[in-house]
Structure 1
Amino acid sequence: MPALYNRVNNDELKRRMLESNEERVTLSFYQYHNLDNPERFRDELFLRWSKLGVFGRIYVAKEGINGQISVPEQQFEAFKTDMYSIPWLNGARLNISVDDDGKSFYKLKIKVRKKIVADGLDDHTFDVTKRGKHLSAQEVNNLLDNPETLVVDMRNHYESEVGHFEGAICPDVETFREALPLVEDMLEDKKDKPIIMYCTGGIRCEKASAYYLHRGFRHVHMIDGGIIEYTRQCKEQGLPIKYVGKNFVFDERMAERITEDIVSRCHQCGAPCDDHINCANDACHILFIQCPSCAEQYSHCCSKACSDFNNLPEEKREELRGQLEFNGTKFGKGRYKALRKDEPLDIS
């Protein structure tokens, strides 16, 4: 039976990807659909798309599919044909990345999940098909000219930190699940105002807009295709882009640049910077923003403690692993107060 999972070492796969000159297209897509057997569909999809050289991360659930992938340019049409041959995926939007070097993914992972986006909602309590109105880029810009319009970023703080729409409400949350009740509370007395919600590719807003309509908000809109499609349409039609900075993406690139504006700062020294990295100490691995100067000073680590740990002999690191707690040990995302950069490693 053909393999249904990758069997090559991750480091080797990443090396191959970085050294490859193959032209690839990075894209995202999603579709809500009732799947009776997501496990069987997952296996079929892995066999079909691995043959086409597809890399990326795909989640399959009983409610549908959510994917961020890259496809060899020479196989792109074959991939579209194959995807659209699946009846319920025929015509699904493909959000093509706007700033792509082809190095976004290095292997194909398809996982079965309870939901294609973790939202914490009970879908049986409201009609998920009664969602907000989709807006084109021109319609977004027109509605933004209305001073009554509220713009809400439905992403996490580390996403909105490096880029957002002008004047957007950006919840200080680490998960979409946290954002839903927080935004509802923030806008409780504004249910009659026009609201534009946005996220990376639109999937989070599909569910959120239906939920907020259910909760009594009257004029809920969402950007069709999210930031990715909005930017593409603006560039194609010569429209002013009212999103500033970078669009955070969940792949090896970390972000794609939308405008040259730098709206965030290095978490260690405060210098203007919008480059996310993961701490080089694998026992920490916290996601944070680091400028080139601090990267050199702290050896691409988030703190002196992590830098000191990485400089220990491998045997010593293995001995201490699990005994020490670093900034990212509990899988939190970086914040200024979390990066205690000058505290040395204490192994006493």
Structure 2
Amino acid sequence: MQLYNKLSAKERAALIEQAGEHRLTLSFYAYAKIGNPKLFRNYLFLAWDSMEVLGRIYVAQEGINAQLSLPAKKFDEFKSFLDSIYFLKDVRLNIAIEHDLKSFLKLKVKVRDKIVADGLNDATFDVRNIGVHVDALKFNALMEDPNTVLVDMRNHYESEIGHFKGAVTPDVDTFRDSLDIIEEDLKEHKEDKNLLMYCTGGIRCEKASAYYKHKGFKNVFQLEGGIIEYARQVENLEVENKFVGKNFVFDHRRSERITDEVISNCHQCGKPCDSHVNCDNEACHLLFIQCEECAKAMNNCCSTACKEITALPYEEQKALRKGIPNSNKIFKKGRSSVLKFKH
């Protein structure tokens, strides 16, 4: 019984190109009690592997968080499979605004302690007592209310390239970092202000809204389906789009353009740019914003040091990074001091 990927990302990319079939990129989440996450993980992998699903899926005792792509022709089969699982029947599917055949190149279904790393002790509050879900129309109306505080529940590298007008955008690296900071900043307004939150697809707001209600906030609202669903609704309803820039996504596309405005800068030269890349030096792999001119001049690297390393033969590069962990650089997400115009 195959419960792992047999093909490399490169081999999978070649097969996708050869097939030439349209693929859909989508995401969904659901909080539910899963008694045996490992068994459920294996069940999903076997079913989705046969449907040519690729993506990154986290399963925990508290539920599932999925970001994936699949052949468009197999969408109905995929939807029927989800509907056969009691807590996933009619689950909201956030279909991507922009599709890419190679948004994912492997199927990874992983068992985790939590489906979102929030650092919270869920036993201390009622995670089901969530805020009020609002659609695009209600969200826009609440934004105009002077008694509303609009908060971006995403990280700095996400909000840097796109956010809602007038939103508070915490300068944080992780979701867990933002929770206490926001509570402290708004502690004087727990009863007299509307706390209106948004994130990429809704999952972070789901937990945050319950946490803030537990902390005493009286009027808590969250954008249903996040930025992805909002962009779809404002287009279908032909209402004002109050989001500017790009929506950061966690796949090979890295972002979806929502509006034409470019609100961020190349981290190396400072010119307007909103394209995230990873440094080509595998010992670095830093996520940062780089324009085409700097990419050419720096050979897709974040620094001169990394550029020099990538010019070496591959075996020499491999020897240099042997035994040296690079996760610290990866998760700095643009915090490196080598970036002159970093956020």
Task: Give the TM-score, by structure 1 length.
Answer: 0.94
Residues 98 and 256 of structure 1 are in contact (CA less than 8 Å); yes or no, is this contact kept in structure 2? yes
RMSD value, Cα: 1.8
The offset of 1:144, in angstroms, is 1.1
> What corresponds to 2:202 in structure 1?
202
> What corresponds to 2:25 in structure 1?
26
Q: Distance in 2 between matches of 1:334 and 1:179?
A: 17
Q: Distance in 2 between matches of 1:338 and 1:38?
A: 42
> What corresponds to 2:82 in structure 1?
83
Q: Distance in 1 between matches of 2:73 and 2:57?
A: 21
Q: Distance in 1 between matches of 2:105 and 2:186?
A: 41
> What corresponds to 2:182 in structure 1?
183
Report matched runs for 1:73-112 at 5 Å: 73-112=72-111
Give 5+ residue unaligned stretches, structure 1.
342-348
Residues 103 and 252 of structure 2 are in contact (CA less than 8 Å); yes or no, is this contact kept in structure 1? yes
Report matched runs for 1:113-124 at 5 Å: 113-124=112-123
Moved more, 240-249 or 145-154: 145-154
SS of aligned partner of 1:87: coil
Residues 53 and 71 of structure 1 are in contact (CA less than 8 Å); yes or no, is this contact kept in structure 2? yes
Moved more, 53-62 or 99-108: 99-108
Report matched runs for 1:274-293 at 5 Å: 274-293=274-293
Q: Distance in 2 between matches of 1:323 and 1:129?
A: 44
Q: Are residues 171 and 298 of structure 1, via their aligned partners in 2, closer, same or farther at CA, if it must alter by over 3 Å?
A: same
SS of aligned partner of 2:114: coil
Q: Distance in 2 between matches of 1:332 and 1:203?
A: 22
Q: Are residues 109 and 132 of structure 1, via their aligned partners in 2, closer, same or farther at CA, if it must alter by over 3 Å?
A: same
SS of aligned partner of 2:188: coil
Report matched runs for 1:1-348 at 5 Å: 2-18=1-17, 20-191=19-190, 192-322=192-322, 329=329, 331-335=331-335, 337-339=337-339
Q: For each residue in 1:181-232, what CA deviation from the matched residue of structure 2 results, as whole angstroms up to 9, or x when unmatched?
A: 1111111112120111000000000000000011011111000000011111
Q: Are residues 241 and 176 of structure 1, via their aligned partners in 2, closer, same or farther at CA, if it must alter by over 3 Å?
A: same
Identity percentage over the alignment? 53
Letter in 1 for 2:150: V
Q: Are residues 235 and 107 of structure 1, via their aligned partners in 2, closer, same or farther at CA, if it must alter by over 3 Å?
A: same
Moved more, 91-100 or 283-292: 91-100
Letter in 1 for 2:74: Q
Q: Distance in 1 between matches of 2:166 and 2:336?
A: 22
Letter in 2 for 1:27: L
Q: Distance in 2 between matches of 1:45 and 1:125?
A: 31
Give 5+ residue unaligned stretches, structure 2.
none
Q: For each residue in 1:310-347, what CA deviation from the matched residue of structure 2 results, as whole angstroms up to 9, or x when unmatched?
A: 00123332332258898964631113734269xxxxxx
The offset of 1:274, in angstroms, is 0.2
Residues 306 and 326 of structure 1 are in contact (CA less than 8 Å); yes or no, is this contact kept in structure 2? no
The offset of 1:9, in angstroms, is 2.0
SS of aligned partner of 1:88: coil
The offset of 1:22, in angstroms, is 1.1
Q: Distance in 2 between matches of 1:203 and 1:324?
A: 34
Count of aligned pairs: 340
The offset of 1:102, in angstroms, is 3.1
Q: Distance in 2 between matches of 1:328 and 1:246?
A: 26
Task: Give the TM-score, by structure 2 length.
Answer: 0.95
Q: For each residue in 1:24-47, what CA deviation from the matched residue of structure 2 results, as whole angstroms up to 9, or x when unmatched?
A: 111100000001100001001111
The offset of 1:148, in angstroms, is 2.3
SS of aligned partner of 1:184: helix
The offset of 1:66, in angstroms, is 0.4
SS of aligned partner of 1:26: strand
Residues 267 and 335 of structure 1 are in contact (CA less than 8 Å); yes or no, is this contact kept in structure 2? no
Q: For each residue in 1:157-202, what CA deviation from the matched residue of structure 2 results, as whole angstroms up to 9, or x when unmatched?
A: 1111100000111111111111111111111112120111000000
Q: Distance in 2 between matches of 1:327 and 1:38?
A: 26
Residues 287 and 330 of structure 2 are in contact (CA less than 8 Å); yes or no, is this contact kept in structure 1? no
Residues 303 and 340 of structure 1 are in contact (CA less than 8 Å); yes or no, is this contact kept in structure 2? no
Residues 27 and 66 of structure 2 are in contact (CA less than 8 Å); yes or no, is this contact kept in structure 1? yes
